[in-house]
Amino acid sequence: MSDIPSELKYASSHEWARLEDDGSIVVGITDHAQGLLGDVVYVELPEIDSDIGAGDEIAVVESVKAASDIYAPISGTIIEINDTLEDAPETVNTDCYGDGWMFRIQPSNETDYQDLMDAEAYQESIADE
Amino acid sequence: MGLKTPFHELHVDAGARMVDFGGWDMPINYGSQIEEHNAVRQDAGMFDVSHMTIVDVQGKDAKPYLRKLLANDIAKLNKPGKALYSGMLNENGGVIDDLITYFINEEFYRVVVNASTREKDLEWMQKQAQNFEVSVDHNKNYAMLAVQGPNAIEKTQAALSEQQKQAIEGLGVFFAVDTEGFFIARTGYTGEDGFEIMIPLDKVSSFWEALIKAGVQPCGLGARDTLRLEAGMNLYGQDMDENISPLEANMGWTISWEPEDRDFIGRTALTQQKAEGVKNKLAGLVLEGKGVLRPHMKVICEDGSEGEITSGTMSPTLKKSIAFARVPKTCGETVMVEMRGKQVPAKVVKACFVRKGEPLV
């Protein structure tokens, strides 16, 4: 049974999103996703200041098994990336909702975030897999 | 649901994540592939390899049959229990499978072939047996477990009887011994010392549990793959197959050209290839840029010629990405690898990265 915090929003492609006080959105991958990937050995993050559209492939997580694309859950601009993952990619396995976050987006469309799934809907979506 | 090995329930009890592997339900890991990998490099780990196929070759013509069937020459084997690695080739010199043959006596050899190639191997071996007085039988009476790592031999003792301990005392590398129903071989697929053990089916649980108690880490197919890659060992179907010559797969050393009159299957084709010179080699790559090398990525040599990665991973021991790549023989010391549209530099090395826990590159 994987951990799905109720205060976060989710994309069907297994990213989580968290609304910050300043209106920006922090993104990472879910516990379910990191479990499927296995040991993460490399994370390729997007460039700061790059403009992204919801659903774009903007990052890559490499596990010992395979490379997996990470999709932007919302549209906007990348304003921060978690560059500690360069030296410690395994943080994605050990703390996927905390220190294993990946990037922060300044959204260009406020409703994008509200349109993401809540924890219950995400739970159902992975139960169907 | 796939085929299950005799260890299936023990894997599930140990928390294994099971995956399909060539029709078999096999453990990919028991939590962390990297921890399992490191256990084998630093201590001791065990792998269920019961999906591999044991073929007993018996009869008056066992020896001449295998001398025809295999590119390596089993006539080199004259001490009971001695093992030999070889390719089994087709007439074109392509690799049908790679395997290990154990010499029991002049009329009894035991061959272990891969899991994914079982049906075609048995069919081929039966077909070639037609002109010989020999029986080729799939032996289903064993489960198989590989116990590997610097402490593997010591920790395995805990699961053995006094008589078995005596039997393996001083057992040489690439030798096996038959003791109290167990067939214990000092072989492996990790670059570490250890055993590959054929276990009677009624002893499967007690043997596994004794090893767990002795502190041997269960390891999945994931760690098995990173370990063999670091050790420079080929994986059939990935690094070579029926369309690849052993001369282009780092298997030249497994071909016995002497004596010249031994007419093994594939010899004519290989002789011609050797005379004309083969175009490619299987090289090792160490990634200098960021990312992870993966099978089928395109490799571009300094002179513009191209090759392809056959196996690639992140090496837990070196903490760098490593790979085998089939490249033109003329390939220089550095190459570029195409990774998702970008070109990343890699160093060309001998395809062997770690032995007995020590980095070689």
Ramachandran region, residue B329 (left: φ > 0; alpha: ψ -120 to 50; beta: rest): alpha
pLDDT bin (cut points 50, 70, 90) of residue A81 is very high
ipTM comes to 0.78
Residue B74 one-letter amino acid = I
pLDDT bin (cut points 50, 70, 90) of residue A127 is confident
**pLDDT of amino acid B341:** 85
- Note down pLDDT in tens along chain B; length 361 residues: 689 999 999 999 999 999 999 899 999 999 999 999 999 999 999 999 999 999 999 999 999 999 999 999 999 999 999 999 999 999 999 999 999 999 999 999 999 999 999 999 999 999 999 999 999 999 999 999 999 999 999 999 999 999 999 999 999 999 999 999 999 999 999 999 999 999 999 999 999 999 999 999 999 999 999 999 999 999 999 999 999 999 999 999 999 999 999 999 999 999 999 999 999 999 999 999 889 999 999 999 999 999 999 999 999 999 999 999 999 999 999 999 999 889 999 999 999 999 988 898 8
Asked if A62 and B291 come within 8 Å (Cβ–Cβ), the reply is: yes
Residues of A in contact with B32 (CB under 8 A): 38-39, 93
Residues of A in contact with B291 (CB under 8 A): 42, 44, 62
Residues of A in contact with B292 (CB under 8 A): 41-42, 62, 67
Asked if A64 and B340 come within 8 Å (Cβ–Cβ), the reply is: no
State pLDDT tens for residues A26-65: 999 999 999 989 999 999 999 999 999 999 999 999 998 8
Residue B183 one-letter amino acid = F
Residue of chain B with shortest Cα separation from A44: B291
B38 to chain A, any CB pair closer than 8 A? The answer is no
B226 to chain A, any CB pair closer than 8 A? The answer is yes
State pLDDT tens for residues B52-69: 999 999 999 999 999 999
A67 to chain B, any CB pair closer than 8 A? The answer is yes
Residue ranges of domains in chain A, CATH in brackets? 9-110 (2.40.50.100)
Asked if B314 and A44 come within 8 Å (Cβ–Cβ), the reply is: no
**pLDDT of amino acid B42:** 97
State pLDDT tens for residues B30-45: 999 999 999 999 999 9
B8-48+141-230 and B279-359: identical CATH topology: no
Residues of B in contact with A64 (CB under 8 A): 33-34, 222, 226, 313-314, 316
CA pair distance B19, B221, nearest whole angstrom: 9
Q: Which sign does the torsion angle of CA B53, B77, B188, B200 carry?
A: positive
Asked if B226 and A44 come within 8 Å (Cβ–Cβ), the reply is: no
CA dihedral (B278, B282, B283, B289) in degrees, to 10, reads: 120
Residue of chain A with shortest Cα separation from B222: A65
**pLDDT of amino acid A88:** 94
**pLDDT of amino acid B357:** 87
Residues of B in contact with A59 (CB under 8 A): none
- 3-class SS of residue B254: helix
Asked if A66 and B294 come within 8 Å (Cβ–Cβ), the reply is: yes
Q: Which residue among B29, B314, B340 sits closest to A41, beta carbon to beta carbon? A: B314
Asked if A38 and B226 come within 8 Å (Cβ–Cβ), the reply is: no
Closest CA relative to residue B337, chosen from B281, B285, B280, B282? B285
Residue of chain B with shortest Cα separation from A86: B290
**Which residues pair with residue B315 across a beta bridge?**
B320
A64 to chain B, any CB pair closer than 8 A? The answer is yes
Closest CA relative to residue B223, chosen from B25, B4, B44, B14? B44
**pLDDT of amino acid A129:** 62
User: Nearest CA of chain A to the CA of B213: how many Å?
Assistant: 26
Q: Which CATH architecture has domain B8-48+141-230?
A: 2-Layer Sandwich (3.30)
| Test the B interface: residue of A63, A64, A90 with most B CBs within 10 Å | A64
A69 to chain B, any CB pair closer than 8 A? The answer is no
Domain boundaries, chain B: 8-48+141-230, 279-359
Superfamily (CATH H level) for B279-359: Aminomethyltransferase beta-barrel domains (2.40.30.110)
Q: How many residues does chain A have?
A: 129
| pLDDT at residue A128 greater than cutoff 80 | no
CA pair distance B230, A56, nearest whole angstrom: 35
CB distance A70 to A59 below 8 Å: yes
